[in-house]
Amino acid sequence: DAGVIQSPRHEVTEMGQEVTLRCKPISGHDYLFWYRQTMMRGLELLIYFNNNVPIDDSGMPEDRFSAKMPNASFSTLKIQPSEPRDSAVYFCASRVLAGASGADTQYFGPGTRLTVL
């Protein structure tokens, strides 16, 4: 399996621009998570989906952030408009079907390093 795939790996943009981060979970996984990592706040959950449905978006910082999962193999995290304080590494993770061996383990993608100037 290719693992969780994220694109782009690096993104540099200017304040006010729209940013779209993409994620392809591991095939067969029914949970998908978006995390953000910063020096100040560490790793924090932004939102997660179960069977393509958003379950908990309480970690989304504000209305400028939105996430979608149109199908089981693709999710996006969008920031519009972007601000310098959004600079961070954004991780996507997925989890195997509930009940299967190792169902509790989340597997992470390589992350997207976002820099907003």
Partner 1 sequence: AQTVTQSQPEMSVQEAETVTLSCTYDTSENNYYLFWYKQPPSRQMILVIRQEAYKQQNATENRFSVNFQKAAKSFSLKISDSQLGDTAMYFCAFMGFQGAQKLVFGQGTRLTINP
For partner 1, the binding residue among 26, 48, 94, 96 (CB under 8 A) is 48
Q: CB under 8 Å to 33, separation ≥6 — which residues?
A: 45, 47, 48, 49, 92, 93, 94, 95, 106
Q: Which of 15, 43, 100, 117 contacts partner 1 by CB under 8 A?
A: 43
As a whole number of angstroms, the distance between CA 69 and CA 4 comes to 15
Closest approach of partner 1 to the CB of residue 81, in Å:
26
CB of 75 to partner 1, least distance (A): 16
What are the tokens at 86? 């959004």
Candidates 11-19, 21-29, 68-76, 86-94; binding stretch for partner 1 (CB under 8 A):
86-94
What b/e string do you get for 3-13 counting C-beta neighbours within 10 Å, with b at 16 or more? ebebeeeebeb
Site for partner 1, rule CB under 8 A: 31, 33, 42-45, 48, 50, 55-56, 89, 91, 93, 95, 104-108, 110-111, 113
